């Protein structure tokens, strides 16, 4: 597909009419707050590689002196002897995140395409409801959702966590706003060539909105990667990595090294994904605004 | 003779036509829907899976929650209608709810605007740099909000013994002589939860603002300079902010919703329940009644109030934001 959406223009050099003092101030402000933002993360990275004696050093030291991967070895040893092997927690988290994310991207893109490009009665009402649903948090619906899940018999299965995430409203909203930029002439040309709407959606629209997929991946990671199964998952073998981390942390001093290792694993994956998809995400966000 | 015959023959036809029109009129709504469904079949088929789930897990639950909030329901017996009793109990008898309401409003009033302004200011400052540095700074500021539940790191920083970094630093500097029980002292705990929530809050809206700033038409600034804009602040108010109004509105929705929904951070740091309920919020109260005590009617009343607070504050702020740059 040769066609691409308008890329974000790199900013042409604007004349900086700022005093050196202003520049200094900006650097100081960004430096201070940047440190505030980054230090806990740097600490997590360092801690994961600290040998035990450094973790309990007093006064505490921030950076690691003699890095070691013992904590990771400990973690897997510890979890190999436990009732549910640690790899199972990793699998659960991966399964929930991947199925939830892929399902959400496909379903919300399918719903966003008609909302963005077709004209049919009820379109505005549906989209208004979606925008309104951004205005309250999922906590509001937690109680009825629990009842629904127990009615469906989904309590204590992966589906109780995965299926509601398919219909996460922020994803549909961003997808629809992004799709509006696709030129109608392109779709019209495909229609004249005899492509069905489903084919247009799958073969033309989906490849174009790739930046929006990546944005949805990050958003869903925010929701699912850190899930502890909420109130839905009770069986030990279905529990997630985040839940396991909570258990290890509660193990106290003896488990501090292993806890630091899990923390790093949980933290690193979403950040690495963002690292590689940043440009696409910013591109998607440029169409995120609520229009009057 | 002939004419009258023709007329006579015509009459039944006329009757038929009338009847047909009448029938048409009666059927029109049904027919319209049918024609409409046929015509837009593809649209509806594509949307169906998402919207079925969306209605099932978002729209319907709001309605159910409002209805159940007028009942006594414990998941075992059939719900019993109790009218306004749950709401009366919330505001008149439940002191803990009033504390949680106070904490939530305080929380939202402080972290909501602060995080919103922080999202904008950092996006604005970061936007002054070249693409490479900008991408790096974006990563640093955005990372905490996607790093999963890493905020438990703050447990170590604010740990109550002298191993905690905050205590360690203060003791080394000689400001305090014995460790402070940061997370077990009602004086500090809400403030600490606020700090951590702010740390986590440069999320989706921050990215939306960065994108919004990058998309502003630069010729507007030149035009503004000709029209007599003299400094950066005028530029900000008359050009930058109005140009990114849609993103500002979107960001407001996200930040407001987030600032009212504090629960995880409070539960992880301050414990559940927190000391003297100092970090108890509406959502933790809801979790208490909905998932521990299983008083679903009462929990639904809490959820309904949370829903109303969130919707109202969002709609009011949207109103205000429309005025930006006017």
In DSSP notation, A121-135 reads TTHHHHHHHHHHHTT
What residues have CB less than 8 Å from A11, skipping those under 6 apart? B127, B214, B218
Provide mean pLDDT across the span A250-269: 78
Length of chain B: 326
| Contact call for residues A144 and B65 (beta carbons, < 8 A) | yes
Of B125, B204, B218, Cβ closest to residue A12: B218
* B208–A8 CB contact, under 8 Å: no
3-class secondary-structure state, position A266: helix
Nearest CA in chain A to B136: A275
- Distance between CA atoms of residues B202 and B254, nearest Å: 11
Q: What are phi and psi of B80, to 5 degrees?
A: -115, 130
SS3 of chain B: the string is CHHHHHHHHHHHHHHHHHHHHHHHHHHHHHHHHHHHHHHCHHHHHHHHHHHHHHHHHHHHHHHHHHHHCCEECCCCCCCEECCCHHHHHHHHHCHHHHHHHHHHHHHHHHHHHHHHHHHHHHHHHHCCCCHHHHHHHHHHHHHHHHCCCHHHHHHHHCCCCCCCHHHHHHHHCCCCCCCCCHHHCCCCHHHHHHHHHHHCCCCHHHHHHHHHHHCCCCHHHHHHHHCCCCCHHHHHHHHHHHHCHHHHHHHHHHHHHHHHCCCHHHHHHHCCCCHHHCCCCHHHHHHHHHHHCCCHHHHHHHHHHHHHHHHHHHHHHHHHHCCCCC
pLDDT band at B189 (very low <50, low <70, confident <90, very high): confident
For residue A235, the distance in angstroms to the closest alpha carbon of chain B comes to: 17
- The more confident residue out of B163 and A290 is A290
Q: Where are the domains of chain A?
A: 41-60+67-285
Instruction: Read off the pLDDT of residues B48-57 as tens digits, 9 standing for 90 and up.
Output: 999 999 999 9
**CB-based contact (8 Å) between A111 and chain B?**
yes
A46: tokens are 């360092």
CB contacts of A101 in chain B (<8 Å) are none
| Contact call for residues A288 and A134 (beta carbons, < 8 A) | no
Instruction: Read off the pLDDT of residues B278-322 as tens digits, 9 standing for 90 and up.
Output: 889 999 999 888 888 888 899 999 999 999 999 999 999 998 888
For residue B57, the distance in angstroms to the closest alpha carbon of chain A comes to: 6
Q: Which range, A41-55, A63-77, B104-118, is most confident?
A: B104-118
* A107–B53 CB contact, under 8 Å: yes
**CB-based contact (8 Å) between A82 and chain B?**
no
Check residue A14 and give its pLDDT. Answer: 53
B124: tokens are 């604005």
| Contact call for residues A211 and A285 (beta carbons, < 8 A) | no
CB contacts of A284 in chain B (<8 Å) are 211
* B47–A11 CB contact, under 8 Å: no
| Contact call for residues A289 and A219 (beta carbons, < 8 A) | no
Least confident range from A16-20, A23-27, B1-5, B185-189: namely B1-5
Largest CA distance in chain B: 123
Q: What is the mean pLDDT of chain A?
A: 83
| Contact call for residues B189 and B275 (beta carbons, < 8 A) | yes
Q: What are phi and psi of B72, to 5 degrees?
A: -100, 120
**CB-based contact (8 Å) between A219 and chain B?**
yes
Nearest CA in chain B to A138: B58
CB contacts of B75 in chain A (<8 Å) are 147, 150
Check residue A60 and give its pLDDT. Answer: 66
For residue B226, the distance in angstroms to the closest alpha carbon of chain A comes to: 15
**CB-based contact (8 Å) between A186 and chain B?**
no
The angle at the Cα of B194, spanning B150 to A223, to the nearest 5 degrees, equals: 40
B3: tokens are 């004419």
ipTM of the modeled complex: 0.85
The CATH T-level fold of domain A41-60+67-285 is MetI-like fold (1.10.3720)
Best mutation site among A33, A63, A135 for testing chain B: the one with the most B CBs within 10 Å?
A: A135
For residue A4, the distance in angstroms to the closest alpha carbon of chain B comes to: 17
What residues have CB less than 8 Å from B206, skipping those under 6 apart? B119, B122, B123, B141, B142, B145, B251
Confidence check: pLDDT of B25 > 70: no
User: If you classify domain B89-321 with CATH, what class do you get?
Assistant: mainly alpha
* B58–A169 CB contact, under 8 Å: yes
Terminal CA-CA length for chain A: 33
Of A14, A139, A278, Cβ closest to residue B263: A139
Check residue A75 and give its pLDDT. Answer: 79
Q: For chain B, how big is the Rg over CA atoms in Å? A: 30
CATH 1.10.3720.10 domain position(s) in chain B? 89-321
**CB-based contact (8 Å) between A26 and chain B?**
yes
Check residue A253 and give its pLDDT. Answer: 65
Check residue B1 and give its pLDDT. Answer: 46
Provide mean pLDDT across the span A118-128: 89
A291: tokens are 């229009």
Q: Which range, A108-112, A208-212, B39-43, B193-197, is most confident?
A: A108-112
pLDDT band at B269 (very low <50, low <70, confident <90, very high): confident
């Amino acid at each position: 597909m040769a066609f691409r959406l308008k890329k974000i223009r790199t900013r042409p050099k604007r004349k900086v009419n700022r005093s050196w003092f202003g520049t200094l101030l900006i650097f100081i402000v960004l430096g201070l707050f940047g440190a505030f933002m980054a230090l806990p993360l740097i600490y997590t990275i360092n801690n994961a590689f600290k040998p035990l004696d450094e973790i309990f050093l007093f006064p505490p030291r921030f950076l690691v002196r003699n890095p070691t991967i013992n904590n990771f070895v400990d973690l897997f040893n510890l979890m190999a002897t436990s009732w549910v092997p640690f790899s199972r927690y990793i699998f659960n988290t991966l399964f929930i995140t991947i199925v939830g994310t892929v399902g959400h991207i496909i379903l919300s893109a399918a719903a966003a395409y008609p909302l963005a490009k077709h004209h049919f009665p009820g379109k505005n009402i549906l989209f208004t409801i979606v925008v309104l649903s951004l205005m309250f948090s999922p906590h509001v619906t937690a109680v009825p959702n629990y009842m629904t899940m127990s009615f469906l018999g989904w309590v204590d299965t992966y589906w109780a966590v995965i299926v509601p995430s398919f219909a996460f409203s922020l994803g549909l909203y961003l997808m629809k706003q992004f799709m509006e930029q696709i030129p109608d002439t392109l779709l019209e040309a495909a229609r004249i060539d005899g492509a069905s709407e489903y084919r247009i959606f799958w073969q033309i629209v989906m490849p174009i909105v790739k930046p929006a997929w990546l944005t949805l991946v990050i958003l869903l990671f925010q929701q699912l990667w850190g899930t502890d199964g909420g109130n839905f998952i009770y069986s030990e073998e279905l529990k997630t990595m985040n839940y396991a981390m909570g258990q290890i942390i509660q193990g106290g001093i003896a488990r501090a090294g292993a806890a630091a290792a899990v923390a790093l694993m949980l933290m690193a994956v979403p950040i690495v994904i963002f690292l590689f998809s940043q440009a696409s995400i910013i591109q998607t966000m440029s169409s995120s605004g609520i229009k009057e | 003779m002939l004419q009258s015959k023709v007329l006579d023959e015509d009459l039944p036809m006329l009757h038929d036509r009338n009847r047909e029109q009448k029938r048409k009129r009666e059927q029109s709504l049904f027919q319209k829907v049918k024609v409409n469904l046929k015509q837009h079949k593809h649209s509806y088929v594509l949307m169906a899976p998402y919207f079925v789930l969306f209605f099932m897990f978002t729209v319907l639950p709001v309605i159910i929650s409002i209805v159940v909030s007028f009942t006594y329901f414990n998941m075992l017996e059939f719900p019993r209608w109790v009218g306004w009793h749950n709401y009366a109990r919330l505001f008149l008898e439940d002191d803990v709810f009033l504390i949680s309401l106070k904490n939530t409003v305080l929380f939202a009033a402080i972290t909501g605007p602060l995080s919103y302004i922080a999202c904008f200011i950092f996006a604005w400052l970061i936007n002054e740099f070249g693409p490479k540095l900008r991408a790096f700074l974006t990563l640093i500021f955005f990372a905490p909000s996607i790093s999963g539940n890493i905020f438990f790191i703050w447990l170590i920083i604010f740990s109550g013994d002298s191993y905690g970094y905050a205590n360690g630093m203060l003791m080394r500097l000689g400001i305090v002589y014995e460790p402070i029980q940061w997370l077990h002292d009602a004086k500090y705990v809400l403030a600490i939860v606020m700090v951590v929530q702010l740390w986590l809050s440069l999320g989706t809206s921050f990215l939306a603002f960065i994108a919004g700033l990058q998309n502003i038409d630069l010729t507007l600034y030149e035009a503004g300079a000709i029209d007599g804009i003299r400094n950066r602040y005028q530029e900000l108010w008359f050009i930058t902010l109005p140009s990114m109004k849609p993103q500002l509105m979107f960001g407001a929705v996200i930040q407001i919703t987030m600032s009212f929904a504090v629960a995880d951070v409070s539960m992880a740091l301050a414990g559940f329940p927190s000391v003297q309920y100092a970090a108890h919020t509406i959502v933790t109260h809801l979790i208490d009644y909905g998932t521990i005590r299983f008083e679903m009617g009462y929990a639904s009343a809490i959820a309904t109030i949370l829903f109303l607070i969130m919707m109202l504050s969002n709609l009011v702020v949207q109103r205000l934001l429309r005025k930006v740059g006017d």
